[in-house]
Amino acid sequence: MSIDIKQWVCLWGILMTALMVTAIGAVPVQACSCMPPTVASSYNHSSDVIKARIFLRIQRGDSVVYFANVQHVFKGCLSTDRYVILRTPSSSAACGITLRTGDEYLINGNASGTYWGFTQLSVGLCDYNPLFSALSDEDLDFLYSRLVCCSDACICADGSRPVNCFVDPCEVAPDCPDGKCQANYCGGCTAEFYDANGYAVCENKCQDDADCPEDQYCASDHMCEDDGRCERDVDCNLLGNVFLHIQCVGYGVCDSFMCGWVCGLPQCVDVAGYDFGACEMILGWGVIDGRCTLVSGCGSDGFYFFATEKECQTACGG
């Protein structure tokens, strides 16, 4: 079998790396302990995220080094068709991982120097490194919608250019007390939220139905929800929530997180949880948590109200 000069250089670099690993003394093995990684948490804690094909494995002492070829870059300054070294502990108890030669993996790693011109990435069990073919559609959507920056040059992972947004998405996004906002300009103007450990939170926050995928609507808690599903009665009366129901004048009700329909006066729908705005304009009397209550806000948003409390109580019993 013939090997070209480039391959010889690569193999030589790996052998030199292996010799260096051998010189490192043994370290005590402790049980590997970490939170289950996700595509987002690993991405946020890694210096480099790549799709890589494994070519060679060498074990020396307490470490294993893999020789890999970069197939695609999702984060960092590596380039496709470049060779890298992946270094991991030899024991899973020390958070080492096992990669099969010939297979392609998603690699989340952290740069740990270079040897003979090869970038070396440290990888382990606490990183999200599955077979690339095993990635879910959601994982792939996340990866290919990342902004890949090196120095001042940035391009989206799918090869497209970032969108020019009129305003920072984080400035107009709904509040997310559990996370910090990061603006994403790939494929749109998106506000993403991550907690201190890099995990995605408030993932489906929305302002209107246009922010949600097809067959979903923007619910009263500003979360994208499947059509026909609900958290409270008011969700079943939002225009974007399309579901089959009996044909009569009435209003939607939420039962076991699924929308149903009651024939009667539309004004009797329970609007608890709906934000009519911070204005003090009186909208009328409506049902909130089963009781007739004076409702105020900036506009009725298509809901109907009674002129008096007595009318509300007579019609709805609240």
Is 276 a member of any domain?
Answer: no
**180-219: b (≥16 Cβ within 10 Å) or e:** ebebbbbeebbbbbbbeebbbebeebbeeeebbeeebbbb
Contact 215, 241 (CB under 8 A): no
Confidence of residue 14 (pLDDT cuts 50, 70, 90): low
**Residues 175, 227: one domain?**
no
Of 10-19, 29-38, 106-115, 167-176, least confident by mean pLDDT is: 10-19
* pLDDT over 70 (residue 26): no
Domain boundary among 242, 264, 286: 264
* 134 and 93 co-located in one domain: yes
Q: pLDDT band for position 35 (50/70/90)?
A: confident
Residue 57: inside a domain, yes or no? Answer: yes
Would residue 58 count as lying in a domain? yes
Residue 296 inside a domain? The answer is: no
Q: Please tell me which residue, 104 or 1, carries the higher pLDDT value.
A: 104
Beta-sheet strands, E only, within the chain: 48-60, 63-75, 83-89, 104-115, 118-122, 147-150, 153-156, 180-184, 190-194, 200-201, 216-218, 224-226, 250-255, 258-263, 281-288, 291-297
- Residue 187: which domain range? 163-203
Query: Which of these ranges, 88-92, 120-124, 188-192, has the smallest mean pLDDT?
Result: 188-192
Residue 22 has pLDDT above 80, yes or no: no
Are 88 and 145 in a shared domain?
yes
Q: Which amino acid is at 11?
A: L
**Do residues 173 and 249 both lie within one domain?**
no
76: left (phi over 0), alpha (psi -120 to 50) or beta: left
pLDDT tens track for 101-114: 999 999 999 999 88
Cite the DSSP H helix spans in the chain: 5-23, 39-45, 137-144, 169-172, 309-316
Domain at 89, CATH number = 2.40.50.120
In a domain, 288, yes or no: no
42 in Cβ contact with 128 (< 8 Å): yes
Same domain, yes or no: 111 and 217: no
Distance of CA 172 to the CA centre of its chain: 19
Q: Is the pLDDT of residue 253 over 90?
A: yes
The yes-or-no verdict on residue 116 having pLDDT over 50 is: yes
pLDDT at 6: 52
Structural domains in the chain (count): 3
Same domain for 143 and 87, yes or no, is yes
Residue 8 pLDDT exceeds 60 = no
Same domain, residue pair 60 and 101: yes
In a domain, 7, yes or no: no
Are residues 170 and 216 located together in one domain of the fold? no
pLDDT band for position 3 (50/70/90)? very low
Do residue 129 and residue 199 come from a single domain? no
Percentage of the chain modeled with pLDDT above 70? 90
pLDDT at 183 over 50: yes
In a domain, 110, yes or no: yes
| Residue 199 sits in the same domain as residue 220 | no
Pick the more confident residue, 268 or 222.
Answer: 268
* Mean pLDDT of the region 164-184: 87
Domain check: are 147 and 250 in the same one? no
144 and 246 together in one domain: no
Could you tell me if 148 and 155 are in contact, meaning their C-beta atoms sit under 8 angstroms apart? yes
Residue 242 within any structural domain of the chain: yes
Per-residue model confidence (pLDDT) at position 61 = 82
What integer pLDDT is reported at residue 109 of this predicted model?
96
Q: Is the pLDDT of residue 13 over 80?
A: no
- Length of the chain equals 318
